[in-house]
Amino acid sequence: MISFNYETEFLIQDEKKVTDWIINTILEEGCKEGEIHYIFVDDDYLHKLNVDFLNHDTLTDIISFDYSVGKELHGEIYISIDRVKENAEEFKVTFDDELARVMIHGILHYCGYKDKSDDEEKLMRSKEDYYLSKR
């Protein structure tokens, strides 16, 4: 089950379409859909999570808590709408494209992809681009 929760003034326009896209990504990666909760927040909310749970005193666009069991994906994905807006401007992409990239980025982490090394980051970007083309 994919759920969308809103702690800020923002709503996804077509939750069913986005849900179907996420589920298709999960299945194509050979994983199983579990309970995945997206929580859309502002910078202050996500900054507090970053400090309290990760000891990082910085702004970020996404924090995910992975509760997956094997290939069955479970977790909470917190996304700062403020960061997504700013990043979209910085990278000269639409808000919707940047939001989709961040949303699928969290799912790809749950599927086992990392982005710490240059090679891992390159593969992650390639996977993001591939799944963005399928929405």
Q: Does 62 have pLDDT greater than 90?
A: yes
Residue pLDDT, tens place only, 29-49: 999 999 999 999 999 999 999
Residue 55 confidence class, pLDDT cut points 50, 70, 90: confident
pTM of the model: 0.93
pLDDT at 71: 96
In angstroms, what is the C-alpha Rg of the chain? 14
Residue pLDDT, tens place only, 116-129: 899 999 999 999 99
pLDDT at 112: 95
DSSP structure string for 53-73? HH---S--SEEEEE--BTTEE
Please give the structure tokens belonging to residue 107: 């799912």
> What is the mean pLDDT of the segment spanning 80-109?
97
| Gap between the Cα atoms of 71 and 130, Å rounded | 21
Please give the structure tokens belonging to residue 65: 């808590």
In this structure, the chain runs to a length of 135
pLDDT at 73: 98
Query: Which residues are part of a known binding site?
Result: 105, 109, 115
Q: How far is CA 20 from the centre of its chain?
A: 15
Query: Which residues are part of a known binding site for Zn(2+)?
Result: 105, 109, 115
The range of the structural domain enclosing residue 77 comes to 2-132
Phi and psi at residue 31, in whole multiples of 5°?
A: -115, 175
Q: What is the mean pLDDT of the chain?
A: 96
Q: How far is CA 125 from the centre of its chain?
A: 13
* 32-41 β-sheet, strand order: 2-6, 32-41, 72-80, 62-66
Phi and psi at residue 133, in whole multiples of 5°?
A: -70, -15
Residue 54 confidence class, pLDDT cut points 50, 70, 90: confident
CATH of the domain at 33: 3.40.390.30
Domain total in the chain: 1
Q: Does 89 have pLDDT greater than 90?
A: yes
Element (H, E) at 29: none
